Amino acid sequence: MAPLTAEGVLAKLRTVTADQEITILKLSEPISAAVTQLQDPHQRTSDISTSSLDATTPSSLEADLTHYKELFAKLRFSYVEQVTKEKFIRAIVGDPPLIVTPQENLDLEKENLEAKRTLKALKTEVATMVIELEKKARDLSKRYEKVKIETIRLEELPGRIRELENAIAELKEMQAAGSSPNPELNLPLTKTVDLVESKKRRRAELDRHLEQLQSQVPRKKKELDRLRAELQPLEMKRQNSMAAAKEARRRKEAALGGVQDDLEERGRWFRAAEAGLKQALELQC
C-alpha cells in the first residue's frame, strides 16, 4: 500500500465535501417545503413563522421553535376542552344517558395517573436526549471547523514542502561544492549540535547578565539623580564665572579701543610706582 501524501489526502477531502454542504440551516428545508405545498396560493398568510422561512437563520429557527411550542400548548388545551365538552354533552343527551359510577371514576383516575407517570418519564427521556444531541451537535460543529482549518493548512502544505525541498537541495549543493561563506554550515551533525548547545549556553549567560544589569538600573538611576543634584550648584558657579570672564574681556577690549577705565589706569600706575621704588632701592644699595 502506497504511503499517503498531502496531495492524496487533500484530493480525498475535496471528493468527500464536493457535493455535501454541512449546515444546520438545511434542517428547515423539509419544513419549509411542506408548508409551501400546503399553502393555498390565493390565501393570505400573516403567520410570523411562514414569513421567516424566506430568510432562514439560527435566530429565526429558534424563534419558530418557540412559536410552535406556544401554539401547540394552546391547541392542546383547546382540543382537550372541546373533547371534554363534546363527551359531556353526548353523555347527557344520549339515549339512554351515560351514567358513570364512582368506581369507574376511580379506575379512570388510576389510569390517568399511570399515563401521567409514563408521559413524564418519556418527557424526561426526550429532554435528556435533546441535551445530548445539542452537546453532540456543538462538538461536531467544533470538529468541523477544525477540519476546515486543517484543510486550509493542508492546501498550503505542498507548496511549503516544495520550498523546503528546494532549500535542502541548495544546501546540499553548497556543502558538496564547499562554497558556503559561513564555515559553520559545513560542520557535521555532531559538531553542529555542540555548536548549538554552546550558543544556547552563551545566550543563557547573556540573559543572566542582562537580568543583573536590569536589577542595577534603579540604584544607578538614584545615583544619577544625586550626581545631578550635586552638579547643579557647580554648573551655576561655572556660568557665573563665564559671565564674569566675558565681562572682564569686554572691558579690556573697550579700554584698548580708547575708552578710559579706572581699573586699568590704576593698574598701570601701580606697576609704574613699583618699578620706580625698585630702582630707588637699587641705587641706595
How far, in Å, CA of 27 to CA of 31, rounded?
Answer: 8
Helix (H) or strand (E) holding 120: helix 102-177
Least confident of 38-47, 64-73, 169-178, 255-264: 38-47
Q: Report the pLDDT value the prediction gives residue 180, as an integer from 0 to 100.
A: 57
Please tell me the pTM assigned to this model.
Answer: 0.41
Residues 6+ away with beta carbon under 8 Å from 161: 6
pLDDT in tens, 56-103: 666 777 788 889 889 998 998 899 899 888 888 887 887 777 777 888
pLDDT above 50 (res 254): yes
Least confident of 3-7, 64-68, 147-151, 253-257: 253-257
Per-residue cell: 151: 484543510
What is the CA angle 10-14-19, rounded to 5?
170
Q: What does the pLDDT average to over 262-269?
A: 72
DSSP codes joined into one string, 213-236? HHHHHHHHHHHHHHHHHHHHHHHH
pLDDT in tens, 137-157: 889 888 888 888 888 888 888
